[in-house]
Amino acid sequence: MEFELALLLAAFGGGLFGAAIGGLPAFIFCGFAVLVGVAAGVGGSDFDVLGNVAFGPVFGPHIAFAGGAAAAAYAGRKGLLDDGKDILAPLVGLNNPMVLVVGGIFGAGGYVVNQALLPIVGNYTDSVALTVGISGIAARLIFGRSGLFGGLSPDARERGRFLPGGNEVWVAYQQGFPQASMLGFGTGLFAAWAVVAFAQANPDYAEIAVVLGFGISAASLILLQFGYEGPITHHMTLPAAVAASTVFAAGGAPVLAVLLGAVVGVLGALAGEFFSRLFLIHGDTHVDPPANAIWLVTTVVILVGLLFG
pLDDT tens digit sequence for 105-119: 999 999 999 999 999
**Predicted confidence (pLDDT) per residue in 46-101, tens digit:** 999 999 999 999 999 999 999 999 999 999 999 999 999 999 999 999 999 999 99
pTM of the entire predicted model: 0.96
pLDDT for res 95? 98
Q: What is the mean pLDDT of each run of 10 residues along the chain (309 residues)?
A: 88 98 98 98 94 97 98 98 97 98 98 96 95 98 95 90 92 96 98 96 92 98 97 98 94 95 98 97 97 98 88
pLDDT for res 62? 98
User: Residue 119 is which amino acid?
Assistant: P
